Structures are given as structure tokens and as C-alpha cells.
Chain A
């Protein structure tokens, strides 16, 4: 019954009017930005992250979680209404959701997405609450050698699960690790890669890098063409699904939830695969699979549930181990570090209110999504007709003010602009920026644990392979990397990610 009392503690923390307000604002802002075509959850969170930093740690993480769910739902809305998914996970929703919208069932599709997400969110919150404490207990026994090996595994997994060529992804992870080296060496005080600039002594500002890489680069990409956005629907009606629709979506949603929950826990971005896997599963199980791609409600319910459940359970490695499972979690960890919280298993024991408050707010965020976003759907539809010309100057102004306010440092804005152009070049050359961000966040942690483990073992490298947990993690990492280079898998990857952008 520990779980119930813990969740109660969390609900207590999350249910203060102040926190609900910011969870709501986060959900609203997340939906607002997420609804913009071509902007996925990662970019949305990167753009809105600076706003949350002036809040207390609990409130800011709760608001960030709200932004995350809002952004995901906003992405689904865009996918359904105008067939422009913001990122790969909602690409699957676009397949059948857009067809439903064209058949005049946009309202049903949107409600299906919201309700499946809510169901998945409810179950996944319980899964997180159940799995987090035992995993935390295991993680507390980890030493530096185990942490090092775990992060190697996380980086290896992110290489396998990212889209695009393996070799490019490895290059990006390495580049991220190198960017993580910039700044003062903690052991010797030596300046590394600071180009003689005193502003770089503390390293590259994480927020500036993230906003530049995702936010600014995204705006530049959207300005390539003057996109004429054609929403198939101006007015959404018939929001509430009929009884037979509800029946048709229930089972796929439940299956999607469990599939997504399982994939979301994997380090390195398993959640990305959740919606694809669920879609494939539903298509296989359905007696009339030929309807898929022509507006099958199961094709919306399953992937949406899987996606949301995966999003939720991807908090597990972040909360218990301090290792981000995907770029969004990397942003969360970045936010925690800025707030002065060292992510890892000790968070659950030292800051129980923050830990359980965040878990409880996941469910509240999901509830707010359904309660507030479905009635507001008319507003979001209208927003799709707002010209981009109004939106991007606003985003740029928020980002500039936000990045500046982190450290009151003008240099960070130049970093942001530089990473903006860099991110744009990467996108043009088909390099994924997400693994780089993961490397950038994990780099300093990886280095710290490597050096601490080496000091403890008096410079004996064998410590990583003689400690059993560490050895097992490293072997898994090696296997994962080997799998990535298998030709048959490499071919499958292309198929899985063919939907992207």
C-alpha cells in the first residue's frame, strides 16, 4: 500500500491551486505551440523551457510535464486535421486520422486520440508509480562504474533507435560528448575548448543549445516555403464518439497502452517506436486490415495510446537512474540540473514531494488535456489558420528573453544563434540533432563517473568488467551496437522511419 500513500503524497503536492494553474498553463502553451505544423514536442519544450526556469523546482517540472503532454496532443491534432505530423510518433496518427477527417469524422478522430491518450495516461501513471520505487532501490546500489556503463548503454541504445544512418548517429553522439567537454575541468581547473572566452568557463548553456538546435533551426526550416496550410475542416462537430466507436477503440487502446509502456522504459528512445509497433500490431490483429489507411478508428486509438503510454514510462529511467530515454527527457534533466537537483535515484528519497508530485501531475496533465482541450478544439482549429508570420516572431522573442533570463548572460544568445544555424545545416544534411543533445547532456555525467571510478580503482580499467552489473550493462551495450550494424536490421530501420517528415 506504499504506492497508494506515495501517490497521495504526490497528489497533495500536485493538487495545490498554484501547481494546477501552472500544469494548466503548461498544457495550454504546449498545445498552442505543438499545434503548429512541423514543430514536434522536442522543439516545443525547448522553446518553452526558459519560461519555466523562474519557478520553483516542483512547479517548473510539473509545468514542463504539462507542456510535454500538450505538445503531444497538439501534434496529433495537426496530424489529423492537416496531415502534417510534427514528429515521427504522430506520423502514424496521420495515416488514419487524416482519412477520418476527410470523411467528415474529424471530431471523432480527435476525441479518439484524446480519450485513448487519457486511458493510456491513467494506466501508465500507475505503472510508473509501481516500477519507480523498486528500480530506485536497485539504482541506489549503483557505484560510479555502474553509472558509467549504464550511460554507455543509453548512448548505444540512442544510436540504434534514432532514424537515419548509423554512422551519422554515432557522429552526432560523439559531437554531443565533445560539446559537453567545453568548460572548466572539474578536477584540475583547466579550461577546455573555451576559445579564451570567460563566458564559456561554465560550459555551453544547455538551454541556449537546445533552443538553437531545435527551436531556431525549426523556424528556419519552416521559412523555406511559404506553406499554405489547408485544414480540411473549419468546424469540428460530432466530437463525442458513438457507442460503436467507443467499443472499437477500447481494445486497441488497452493493447497500445501496454505495448507503449513496455517500449517506453527502454533507455535510448524506445517510445519513438511505440506508435509504429502498435499500428503494426492492430493491423495484424484486425479482421479487416484493408481498412487501415482509409480511416480505421483502431489505427488512431492504438498508436495514440501507445505513444502516450511510452511518453509516460520514459520518465522511469529519467526519475530512477537520471538517464534520459529520449531528447525530451534530456531537456527535463537539463531543467532539473539548472534548478539545482542532481538527477538520479536519490531524488526519490531526498525529494519525495518533487518525485511523487511529478508522477501525480502526469495524470493531472492528462486529465486537463481531455477536460480542457476537447471543448477548446474549435480554438485550435482556428489557430491552424493563423499565419506563421505572426507566430514565429513571438516564438523568437520568447526564446530570446528566456535564454537571456537563465543566466542574465548576453553571450548565451550568440550561442543560441550559432546552434540555430548549426542545427539547420544538420537538418539539411540529414543528421539527427537528438542524439547529439543526448550526448551533450550525458557527456559531463559520463566523464564524472568515469574519472571517479578510475580514482576509486587506482587507475585500474578492469573495474568496469569485473563488477557484474557494470559488465552486464557493457555487454548489452555492445550487443545493441552490433545489432545496429546488422544489414537486415539496418534495412528495417529505414522502413520504420520512412514516415518521418
Chain B
């Protein structure tokens, strides 16, 4: 089994980009964008790792974002702003 040429079974590239990109994106934007957009976009990015229909992805994202909002923001009261300063500049 070991004697054959080393050819590992790898996850598809899009999975790597989405799964590793999601936490990096979260880290880069959590302070600037705030909790709500950062979680939503991170989840969206993560769910792109597996191929499914756009409507499914949006539904998953919405559901998880609402859940995180209830559990972490309202439930555990994490000291993070809901909407960050970057968004303030737009309005």
C-alpha cells in the first residue's frame, strides 16, 4: 500500500479557499463591519465550499446568522458591535 506513488486524495480547491478564507475574512472584518455582517458573510463564504444551489446557500446563511445573533450576541452578550464603524461611513 505504501509502495505506490504518493498520490493523496485532496479536497477540491474551492473547499480550501472557502474553509480557510472564512475565518481569515472574519478576523479581518469583525471589528470594521461589526458582528452581523461579518457573521453573515463568513457563513456565506464557508457554505460556498460545497456545491449547492444559490437559494440553499442563502437560506443556510440566513438561518445560521440569526441563530448566532440570538446565541452569541443576545444570549451570551459578546462585547462586539452589531454594526461596525466601516458601515457608519456609508450612511
Q: A residues bordering B, Cβ < 8 Å? A: 51, 54, 216, 219-221, 223-226, 387-390, 392-394, 396-401, 403-405, 408, 410-414, 416-417, 420-421, 424, 428
Contact of B79 with A by CB under 8 A: yes
Q: By the criterion CB–CB under 8 Å, are A403 and B23 in contact?
A: yes
Q: What 0/1 pattern do residues 2 to 14 of B give for CB contact below 8 A with A?
A: 0000001111100
Given contacts A388-B50, A401-B72, contact A396 B19 (CB under 8 A): yes
Q: What 0/1 pattern do residues 52 to 88 of B give for CB contact below 8 A with A?
A: 1000100011001101100010001011100000000
Q: Which of B20, B30, B31 contacts A216 (CB 8 A)?
A: B20
Q: By the criterion CB–CB under 8 Å, are A219 and B19 in contact?
A: yes
Q: By the criterion CB–CB under 8 Å, are A397 and B15 in contact?
A: no
Q: In this complex, what residue of B is CB-closest to A409?
A: B27
Q: By the criterion CB–CB under 8 Å, are A420 and B60 in contact?
A: no
Q: B residues bordering A, Cβ < 8 Å? A: 8-12, 15-16, 19-24, 26-28, 30-31, 39, 42-43, 46-47, 49-50, 52, 56, 60-61, 64-65, 67-68, 72, 76, 78-80
Interface of A: prevailing SS: helix
Q: By the criterion CB–CB under 8 Å, are B23 and A400 in contact?
A: yes
Q: How far is the CB of A499 from chain B (nearest CB, A)?
A: 16
Across chains A and B, the number of contacting residue pairs, with CB separation under 8 Å, is: 111
Q: In this complex, what residue of A is CB-closest to B14?
A: A223
Q: By the criterion CB–CB under 8 Å, are B24 and A420 in contact?
A: no
Q: By the criterion CB–CB under 8 Å, are B68 and A397 in contact?
A: yes
Q: By the criterion CB–CB under 8 Å, are B68 and A401 in contact?
A: yes
Bound state CA distance, A388 and B56, in angstroms? 12
Bound state CA distance, A420 and B49, in angstroms? 15
Q: By the criterion CB–CB under 8 Å, are B43 and A404 in contact?
A: no
Q: How far is the CB of A355 from chain B (nearest CB, A)?
A: 26
Q: By the criterion CB–CB under 8 Å, are B64 and A394 in contact?
A: yes
Q: By the criterion CB–CB under 8 Å, are B31 and A223 in contact?
A: no
Q: In this complex, what residue of A is CB-closest to B79?
A: A408
Q: By the criterion CB–CB under 8 Å, are B68 and A389 in contact?
A: no
Given contacts A408-B79, A410-B27, A413-B24, contact A393 B56 (CB under 8 A): no
